[in-house]
Amino acid sequence: MILSLLVIQAAAFAQANSSGKADKSETLTQQDPFGRLFKQAMDHLVDEEYAKAAQFFQRALKINPKSAEAYYRLGSCYYELALYLEAINSYQEALKIKPDYYDAVVYLGNSLDYDGQYTSAVEMYKKAIQLKPGEWQPYYELGIAQYNQKLYGEAIVSFQDSIKRDATIARTHYYLGDAFRMSRRFSEAIKSYQETIRLDSDNDMAYYGLGMAYVGQGNASAARQQYDKLRALNRELAAELLEEINKIALAA
């Protein structure tokens, strides 16, 4: 199983904590009740036992309600459990204590986005960009929120800004391609999908999007080539693409 980014962060924190490199303002030892509970919570979080981890973070916060780290990790548990309102509340508590907590800002934005609060999510991503303008992720997340609102022109700019900071993330190129396609900018969509496939040759959605971009251009032959490739990856998507190809073939 591929670990989520939040779990990877938790594992890194736990390793730093055990080597004495963690932030001294947060829990560092198991000598005190808060530290013991926090350590147990982190162990459960690393093991992807999110409900158990949440219980220990809650207990730890009763002892030290001023720990931004504990609220952030509690939010992480709720986020992984798809309890987005609870995650929102936890991340907001973390930010009350530490307003410039970058990770809490980003994942508050994600939670708001998943909860359908797109305008508020956009505000969080813009705040994350102010905190770390060199990072690719907040631009990408901002683009997703704009894409979900069908603000494709704005999403294109955000995805391009993300790619300027890290051009190796396949999903950024994919969504840039989708935003171009939804804007009927098919030639640019094709280039973005092709780059997605170069980075991730098994990305079935990229083959589908590329085929659909060719459909948008009326190029049934090129679209059928993507259909042939897509059949081996996702037969349902391939069938959808073929249906669109047949439409333009009949119209010709």
Q: With contact defined as beta carbons under 8 Å apart, do 27 and 50 qualify?
A: no
Q: With contact defined as beta carbons under 8 Å apart, do 91 and 84 qualify?
A: no
Residue 5 lies in a domain: yes
Residue 240 lies in a domain: no
Residue 201 lies in a domain: no
Is the pLDDT confidence value at 127 over 90? yes
Mean pLDDT across the stretch 65-84? 97
Q: 36: domain range?
A: 1-98
Residue 128 lies in a domain: no
Higher local confidence (pLDDT), 32 or 72: 72
pLDDT range class, residue 8, cuts 50, 70, 90:
very low
CA torsion, ordered 38, 43, 44, 45, to nearest 10 deg: 80
pLDDT range class, residue 158, cuts 50, 70, 90:
very high
Mean pLDDT across the stretch 194-219? 98
**16-30 pLDDT, tens digit each:** 444 444 444 444 444
pTM of the model: 0.82
CATH code for the domain of 7: 1.25.40.10
Cα four-point dihedral sign 130, 132, 138, 139? positive
Up-side HSE of residue 164: CA atoms within 13 Å toward CB? 10
Structural domains counted in the chain: 1
b/e 19-39 (16+ beta carbons within 10 angstroms → b): eeebeeebbbeeeeebbbbbb
Mean pLDDT across the stretch 126-143? 97
pLDDT of residue 231: 96
Is the pLDDT confidence value at 125 over 60? yes
Cα–Cα distance measured from residue 73 to residue 87, given in angstroms and rounded to the nearest whole number: 9
pLDDT of residue 203: 97
Mean pLDDT across the stretch 29-50? 88
Tokens (6 digits) for 69? 């780290």
* Nearest Cα to Cα of residue 45 among 57, 35, 33: 57
